Amino acid sequence: MIDYFALLGIERRPAINEESLKNAYFSRSESLGSVQAQAEELSSVNTAFRTIENPATRIQHLLQVEFGDARGGQIGSELGELFGSVVVTLQSADQQFGSLSGESSALLRALAFQRMDGVRERLQQTENNLLALEGNLLWEGDRLDRILTESRARCRESLAQIALRLT
C-alpha cells in the first residue's frame, strides 16, 4: 500500500491544512522528471491528493497506514435516524412529483406544486441536520488531531468511528 501522506511529503494527521496540502501537491507534481516516470507517478500523486483532500478518505487512509485497517465503529443511532428521515422525505417527494406530473389541468398542477412546499422544507431541514452532523464530526477530527501527537493508539477507535460516519 502506498502511503499517500509520505508521497506528498506531509505529516500523517486527521486534520490537514488545505493550503499546505495544495502546496505539497503542486511541489510534488512539479518535481517529477522523465515523461514515462512522470505519467505513472503523477497518477499516484493525483490519487494521493484526492484521498487526502477528503476528510473521510483521509482518515480511512490514516487508519490503514497507522494501524493496518480502517475498520471499526458502528453507525450511531443519530445517523440511523437521519438516514430514515432522508428515506421518508425522498419517498414523499417521489409521491408528490408523481401526482404533479399526472395532473392535466394547470390549476391542479399548481395546487399539487404547493403541496411540495412541505417536502422542500423537510429536505432543507434534513440537509441542515446532515451539515451539522458533518461539522461536529470534523470538529471531533480536529480535536483528535491535537491528541494524536500524544498517543496514536488512543485515537484509533474514535478516528475509525468518524471515518465511518463521514462516509
Predicted local confidence at residue 135, as pLDDT: 86
User: From residue 131, how far is each of 81, 124, 125, 165 by CA, in Å?
Assistant: 15, 10, 10, 12
Q: What is the DSSP letter of 74?
A: -
Regarding whether 111 and 40 lie in a shared domain, the answer is no
Question: Which residues of the chain register pLDDT less than 70?
Answer: 33-37, 69-77, 79, 99-103, 109, 149-154, 156, 167
| Tens digit of each residue's pLDDT (9 = 90 or more) over 64-85 | 887 776 565 556 667 677 778 8
Q: What is the pLDDT of residues 147-163, one digit of tens each?
A: 776 666 667 677 777 77
What is the reported pLDDT for 36? Answer: 63
| pLDDT of 89 | 80
Note if the pTM is more than 0.85: no
C-alpha cell of residue 165: 460516519
pLDDT of amino acid 152: 66
Q: Let me know if residue 63 belongs to a domain.
A: no
Report the number of distinct structural domains present in the chain. Answer: 2
Question: Between the CA of residue 48 and those of 8, 26, 99, 118, 121, what are the distances in Å?
Answer: 7, 12, 47, 42, 38
Cα–Cα distance between 76 and 96 in angstroms, integer?
31
Say yes or no: 36 and 99 in one domain: no
My answer on whether 81 and 162 are in the same domain is yes
Joined together, the cell numbers standing for residue 63 give 487508519
Whether residues 84 and 134 share a domain: the answer is yes
The whole-number pLDDT of residue 49 equals 92
14: DSSP letter: S
Residue 150: what pLDDT? 65
Predicted pLDDT of residue 100 = 63
CA distances from 64 to 9, 14, 140, 165 (A): 17, 12, 19, 17
Range of the domain at 18: 4-53
Domain assignment of residue 106, yes or no? yes
Per the domain annotation, does 66 fall within a domain? no
Tell whether 26 is covered by a domain: yes
